[in-house]
Structure 1
Amino acid sequence: MKKILHAGNNLKGKQANPTYISFLGPKLEAVGFTLYYTSQKQNKVLRLIDMLLSVYKYRAKVDLVLIDTYSTSNFYYAFLVAELCNLLKTPYITILHGGNLPKRLDKSTWKSKRLFKHSKLNIAPSKYIMHEFKKRAYSNIKFIPNALNIEKYEVTERGCERLKLLWVRSLTPIYNPDMALEVVRLLQNEGLDVSLTMVGPDPHNKFEELKETINNKKLRIEYKGKLKQEEWYKLSENHNIFINTSNFDNMPITLIEAMALGLPLVSTNVGGIPYLIEDGKEGLLCNKDDALTMVNCIKKIHKNPDLRQSLIVNARSKAESFSWQNVKALWISALA
């Protein structure tokens, strides 16, 4: 089996958001690949230096480099790592995580062509990203969805007398936590018994800003901070609707996890979300920043037990299709 260096944000610590590198690496090791990882550095400059030094250090030891690729500043990490791989004649494969990557392709045309056309393969975890790349004449692309250990997720029976909403993302602008507050405000104004629990890292102290709105509007919102996966799975048992308010997204593993846990979903229809969730089948969708439509979707689930049950069953079935057992062969083929 091949030896692989996986370059990405392998950050540890209280405010670090677990990325797919922490799931994929051990799975590949379990089927016989040898994995090396970079980088755990918190400082962005030091992280980039560590990635580049690792590529050089392992140049004669590894068969290829896996590069996690995002649409924001981390795009430049991927670009520079790939440039060094090209210089050292080390093959590399990109994993396309950023939901806003299509805009990056148009904004940074030259760098994108250098990065993606010279790669051995570009792995798209959503059909949305694959479609957008093919539309721009990138042909060396393969769809491999994000996977999960489906056996870890149990569907819990939940009542729906009170609305207990759950939101699990990083408190950053791309995930639009302000919209979640507005949804709660509108539901409370209609006299509904509603509460919201927010879970996720807060790298820029956003919740301090949100607290002013929560207190002024007397919103029933609790922030749990960053939790381990098992902790928020357990927490989800006391909630009955999962909301996602993203402005941009690809194929978020958090939504797949919510589907696996039997939580009915209401989400914005951005990026790859409509490729993951068919509106009315696995969840209900609304436009980004459209709090009023999201409220109406929540009320529809609340008032219609048959719809609610149908969404739960269909979403769980979709989540099961992303089990590691179904995805493993695709990765083995891609890395062959």
Structure 2
Amino acid sequence: MKSLLYIGNKLSKHGFNKTTVETLETSFEEEGYKVYSVSDKKSFFFRILDMIFTLIKLSRKIDYVLIDTYSTKAFWYAFFTSQLARMFAIKYIPILHGGNLPNRLQKNPFLSQLVFKNAYKNVAPSNYLKSEFEKESFTNVIYIPNTIEIEKYTLKVRKDFQPKLLWVRAFASIYNPEMAVQVLFELQKEYPNASLTMVGPDKDGSLFETQKKADDLGVKVTFTGQLSKETWWQLASEHDVFINTTHFDNTPISVMEAMALGLPVVSTNVGGLPYLLTDSKNALLVNDANVEEMCVAIKKIILNTSETILMTQHARELVEKMDWKVIKRQWNSLLQ
């Protein structure tokens, strides 16, 4: 039996959305791996210490270290734990999540070389990050897409579409939540009954700023806070359009989940999203921060029912190919 140490942010009990470490961990265990995982410490400092000491303690028990790797502050736990794994001669695998990681490669080339050049493999959940890393001469990058368990998602087949908007993400400036409020404000000029529900925890104070934007514009937005996946999946059945307003991104699970649930997706055309979504085939893509374009796209969804239905069918077909039963073969091949 192979033993894995999975390092990532396990912060859902503190009110944050579940990350990959909290979902893939169970999937690996079901495949017969012995999985240890860290960390659920709320403090960033104590979280890093927990990761480091756990790796030291388990250094003789584990075959691989998997490291969820992001582009901002969380990059540092990837740096420290990867170098510790090198000291113990343990194979480590960064899983590349940060949509802004290409900028990290540019800004910190020396540190990036230490982390990524010495990895057993770097796993890119999108061909966007794979291609960006290959541009910087990293040859040890493989593509294994983000995965969902498709049978858990109840597909709702809609016959018509209303301007009932759903936004699901952590409230952080890089995800540009205020844009969703601006879209609602503009949309209500033509559709007075248009509505917006925003689901997710606050990450950097953006929730307050978004609520203030709604107040300033005089629009009513439903802010639910963090919800369990099962709860927002149910909420999705009461909405007709999923909007994604991010400035940077890789392959967001929430977008994949919306596609699995049958919601048409309108997203900014940034980072890895054009590698996941094909404009006018399985989603509609608009330029970053362009409120007018997003409103036009939403109107297109409402007015062109037959095209939208076909688009949601293509979207569901795409995410069915990302089911864990399919993707687990790639992981097993890598870890065996």
Give me the identity figure in percent. Answer: 43
Q: Could you say which residue in structure 2 is the equivalent of 1:70?
A: 70
Counterpart amino acid of 1:232? W
Matched, 1:179 2:179: yes
Following superposition, the deviation at residue 193 of structure 1 comes to 2.5
Q: Provide Cα deviations, 1:99-152, integer angstroms capped at 9, x if missing partner.
A: 111111111100000100101000000010101111111111111001111001
Matched, 1:242 2:254: no
CA distance in 2: counterparts of 1:148 and 1:210, whole angstroms? 29
Q: Could you say which residue in structure 2 is the equivalent of 1:84?
A: 84
Residues 96, 125 of structure 1: 8 Å contact kept? yes
CA distance in 2: counterparts of 1:161 and 1:118, whole angstroms? 50
CA distance in 2: counterparts of 1:259 and 1:292, whole angstroms? 23
CA distance in 2: counterparts of 1:152 and 1:215, whole angstroms? 37
Counterpart amino acid of 1:36? Y
CA distance in 2: counterparts of 1:192 and 1:99, whole angstroms? 35
Q: Provide Cα deviations, 1:219-274, integer angstroms capped at 9, x if missing partner.
A: 13110110000000000000000000000000011100000000000000100100
Following superposition, the deviation at residue 218 of structure 1 comes to 2.3
Following superposition, the deviation at residue 277 of structure 1 comes to 0.5
CA distance in 1: counterparts of 2:162 and 2:142, whole angstroms? 43
Question: Which stretches in structure 2 are left out of the alignment for 5+ residues?
Answer: none
Residues 162, 193 of structure 1: 8 Å contact kept? no
CA distance in 2: counterparts of 1:100 and 1:203, whole angstroms? 17
Q: Taking structure 1 as the reference length, what is the TM-score of the superposition?
A: 0.97
When structure 1 is superposed on structure 2, of 12-21 and 210-219 the one drifting more is 210-219
Matched length: 336
CA distance in 2: counterparts of 1:236 and 1:125, whole angstroms? 25
The secondary structure found in structure 1 opposite 2:122 is strand
Q: Provide Cα deviations, 1:266-312, integer angstroms capped at 9, x if missing partner.
A: 00010010011000000000011001000000001110011111111
CA distance in 2: counterparts of 1:184 and 1:58, whole angstroms? 51
Residues 173, 206 of structure 2: 8 Å contact kept? no
CA distance in 1: counterparts of 2:40 and 2:161, whole angstroms? 44
Q: Provide Cα deviations, 1:41-63, integer angstroms capped at 9, x if missing partner.
A: 11000000111101100011111
Following superposition, the deviation at residue 32 of structure 1 comes to 0.9
Q: Could you say which residue in structure 2 is the equivalent of 1:137?
A: 137
Q: Could you say which residue in structure 2 is the equivalent of 1:17?
A: 17
Following superposition, the deviation at residue 180 of structure 1 comes to 0.4
Following superposition, the deviation at residue 14 of structure 1 comes to 4.4
Following superposition, the deviation at residue 78 of structure 1 comes to 0.3
Q: Could you say which residue in structure 1 is the equivalent of 2:294?
A: 294
CA distance in 1: counterparts of 2:5 and 2:291, whole angstroms? 43
Question: Which stretches in structure 1 are left out of the alignment for 5+ residues?
Answer: none
CA distance in 2: counterparts of 1:328 and 1:295, whole angstroms? 38
The secondary structure found in structure 2 opposite 1:189 is coil
The secondary structure found in structure 2 opposite 1:156 is coil
CA distance in 1: counterparts of 2:197 and 2:125, whole angstroms? 28
The secondary structure found in structure 2 opposite 1:242 is strand
Residues 163, 240 of structure 2: 8 Å contact kept? yes
Matched, 1:119 2:109: no
5 Å-filtered alignment, 1:153-302, equals: 153-158=153-158, 160=160, 162-302=162-302
Q: Could you say which residue in structure 2 is the equivalent of 1:325?
A: 325
Residues 68, 96 of structure 1: 8 Å contact kept? yes
Counterpart amino acid of 1:203? K
- Indicate how the Cα distance of structure 1 residues 213 and 12 shifts in structure 2: closer, same or farther if over 3 A, else same: closer
Q: Taking structure 2 as the reference length, what is the TM-score of the superposition?
A: 0.97
